[in-house]
Structure formats: C-alpha cells, structure tokens
C-alpha cells in the first residue's frame, strides 16, 4: 500500500508540474496578445491562450510521441513484391521559421527487400508523425526517404512532397499561388530507376479556396 501511495504521489506531482507549466505558457501567450495591442481579458480572448497552446501541442505531437510501429504482412508463397507507390498522403506541419502552418501531400515509392509488406495505414501514420513538429520541407523530405527505408525494410525509398507554406501565402511575399516541391531518395536505387522515378512520380498540391462568390 505504501508503494502504491508513493506511485500515486509521483503521478500527482507530475500532473501538478504539468499544470503549472501549462499555466505559465498560457500566461506568456496572454502577454503576447497584450503586446500586440489587444486585451487578453476580454470575453473573445479569455480562453485563447489555452486554445492556442493546445493547438500547438496537437500540431507538434511528433516531438513527444514515439514513432508508430509498423506491422508487416507476409505474402503467400513468398511471392515477389514489386514497386509500391502510396500517393497523396496528407499532412499538416509548422514551418520552423515562423511557426505558421505547412499543408501538403507526400508520395512514397519503395521496393520491399523481401516478400512481406507493411500495413497501408502505417506508412501514412509515419508520414504524419514525422510532419508533426516544426520543420524545413527539404529536411523533412530527406528524413522521410532515409527513415522509411529502414522501417519499411525496403531496397530503396523515393519521396516527393508538395506543400503550401502559410508564411509565404499570408505574410512577406503574400503569394497565394506559390508552392514548394521537394524530392529525396535513399541509397539502393540505381541511376536508371531514379531517372524513371523522377519523371513518373507526382504529388498533389493541396487546394485552398481563398476567394469565392456566394
């Protein structure tokens, strides 16, 4: 019973420390709102610091959670598994320069080393997990290619990413039509395969309606 009580006390302490830390962060957000010239105590903004902090925690959960586990399924009779392409995996991230949203899609092409294949949803979950943190799109693309080669037990992985960056759409250059396309590949792919992959692989630019008549 003593051990159980100590365990409960430790959990209470962690919970209380977490609450204190979150309250401190919410206070910082309130100060930012005040610095911008608004009143954080008015009704419309009173709950904003908590909501804003929760939104940031949701968008960066990949920093605090372990990577998703990949479950594999054997092919019957050890059949050869050729090239696999998973298209238009949607993700939301934050640019690390402004902490503004990055919205994009990922296409992953890989060839398994053996006759087992991962669950389809697991590849998408890994993409979304890796995106859930502040990032540079170029580094995100390279990490995806290299890490997926390991976790998918693949001979090679090729990745193409298309993304809209709010930091360029709503501030600075304010170009709502600009988007970025990046590609990366792991080792194990031949020059001939790479040339074919670069010519044939597509990714879809997310659609955001900024102007519409009613």
The count of residues in the chain is: 214
Tell me which residue range forms the domain holding 127.
Answer: 69-200
Rounded CA separation 53/50 (Å) = 5
* 36: in domain: yes
Domain final residue pick, 11, 26, 59: 59
| Domain co-membership, 81 together with 175 | yes
pLDDT tens for 68-119 read 999 888 877 667 778 999 999 999 999 999 999 999 999 999 999 888 888 8
For 117, the token pair is 């294949």
130 burial level (CB within 10 Å; 0-12, 13-18, 19+): buried
CATH value at residue 9: 1.10.286
pTM: 0.85
Domain boundary among 17, 34, 59: 59
Q: What is the pLDDT of residues 134-174, one digit of tens each?
A: 999 999 999 999 999 999 999 999 999 999 999 999 899 98
**Torsion angle, CA of 112/114/119/124, rounded to 10 degrees?**
-20
Residue carrying structure tokens 């904003």: 48
Does residue 38 sit in the same domain as residue 74? Answer: no
State the Cα–Cα distance between residues 35 and 113, nearest whole angstrom: 56
Q: Which of 40, 59, 78 represents a domain boundary (last residue)?
A: 59
């Amino acid at each position: 019973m003593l051990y159980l009580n100590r365990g409960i006390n430790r959990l209470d302490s962690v919970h209380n420390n977490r609450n204190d830390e979150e309250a401190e962060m919410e206070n910082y957000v309130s100060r930012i709102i005040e610095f911008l010239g608004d009143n954080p105590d008015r009704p419309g903004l009173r709950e904003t610091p908590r909501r804003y902090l929760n939104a940031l925690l949701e968008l960066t959960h990949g920093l605090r959670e372990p990577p998703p586990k990949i479950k594999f399924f054997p092919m019957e009779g050890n059949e050869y598994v050729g090239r696999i392409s998973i298209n238009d995996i949607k993700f939301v991230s934050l640019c690390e320069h402004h902490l503004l949203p990055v919205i994009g899609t990922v296409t992953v092409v890989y060839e398994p080393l053996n006759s087992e294949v991962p669950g389809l949803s697991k590849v998408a979950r890994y993409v979304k997990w890796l995106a859930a943190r502040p990032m540079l799109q170029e580094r995100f693309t390279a990490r995806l290619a290299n890490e997926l080669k390991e976790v998918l037990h693949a001979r090679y992985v090729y990745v193409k990413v298309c993304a809209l960056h709010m930091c360029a759409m709503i501030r600075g250059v304010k170009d709502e039509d600009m988007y970025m396309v990046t590609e990366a590949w792991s080792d194990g792919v031949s020059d001939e395969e790479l040339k074919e992959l670069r010519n044939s692989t597509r990714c879809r630019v997310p659609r955001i309606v900024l102007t519409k008549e009613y």
